[in-house]
Structure 1
Amino acid sequence: MAEPLKMITPAMLADDPFRPARVDFEKGLSSAPAFAIGLIIVNVLVFALEIKLSLLTSRKDVIYAGAVYGEKVFAGQSWRLVTGMFMHANLGHLFGNCLALYLVGMAAEQAWGRRRSLAIYFISGLAASFASAFLGTRPSVGASGALFGLMGAVMVFFFRHGNSFYARNRRVGNFLIAWSLLQLWLGSLNPRVDNWAHLGGMLAGSIIGAYMPSRFFEDKAAS
């Protein structure tokens, strides 16, 4: 006698005997990434100081204030590699970078936690500043090099661990790939955009993302 047909349930479709159980990257995702919010506050305060001291009125003033500029950096002013990543040229520049930092920061903090995300940000920012100083010809300011580093790290993270997540989780990495390529293309059309910093930061972040252990999977292994 033939067995009655069984109803196919969503749980049955979710199970894949040839792959390990998937995890939900978005579960417990914080909408207030502390490290990103802290950096946003610092960027806003630095920009307010730039406005108060009238440090954005000319190229000379921007360089004086601490912009990344190869001629000055290689003359011994290596501190510019740090100060430049906290300065911004105008309010739109600041807003765009802070918004991107908040959004990418949520994914980064979920993957690595606050301290490791902050380390990725700073190391990528330093690499971006060095690339700008070495290859660029104009003074450069902004957090975008460090941001491209964070994006590169998150993209590599999803490339490494993509099969461990649900398809809807992997859209984060896919979106960042498309968005970063768009920004690099737009930057190539605008001589005022420092794509050397973007590329330097992304390269550094991608390398870090390939080796940085994820607290997300450490937590899963410990449970």
Structure 2
Amino acid sequence: MSEIRLVVQGDDLGMCRAVNEGIITAATDGVLTQTSVMAPTPWFAEGAMLAKKLGIPTGLHVTLTCEWEYLRWGPLTASPSLRDADGLFKRTVEEAMLGGADEAVVEVNAQIDRAQACGLELSYVDPHMGVSLVPAYEAACARLGKKFMYPNINPHHEFSTSVMWLSLASRRDRGAWFADQLERLGPGTHMVMAHPAVPSDELRAVTPPDAENYFWAEPTRIADLEALCAPEVRKIIENRNIELIAARDL
């Protein structure tokens, strides 16, 4: 076993087809080692099928919000307190805080049920948009983790020596930034959080270009994919004998 271990996670599988394609590409042509699935999203069924077919390790990306203007999804359960005026998930964590904890538990159970029904073996639970920071949803995730015996991984505290937020690095130099971070890694288990996607009209259309969160639509996702597939990144991993692993290996 190498002294340096690296988990490379791609979030949001199922959000849209461009994200599904980006995550699959990052796993087959790049260094991605696991993906977090969003069970209520429009392209979840395809994403789950591809992850299972290719053997990509998965975890549940607990989804209790929908941040986009034009790409929308809602709860799998009735859960009226989790819905906005259109009957879909609320857009922000702050709005989602108004939801009921009991309904959140029921909804998260339904999301795991859907993932399992698609044949996914979930090895961890993590939050979309950081909803675990909300006490009610944190309790829901904890109860779910105990019930289903999945580790509710908090990458900041529970198992990793460090966390790298690839999606927040400069888009222009993201591959170089990632390579530099890999050169600096010391012994331990490290984690990279990414949101890869392929360029597409679909991705550009999820929210207006002048929206505050447009950065999270297409720009940062394309840059993430390029960095995860960069030859210099693979070369450093090989030269430094960095072991690529998933949460299920811990």
Q: TM-score, normalised by structure 2?
A: 0.23
The structure showing larger relative contact order (alpha-carbon pairs under 8 Å, at least 6 residues apart) is 2
Q: TM-score, normalised by structure 1?
A: 0.25
Which structure's residues are more often helix, by fraction? 1
Structure with bigger gyration radius: 1
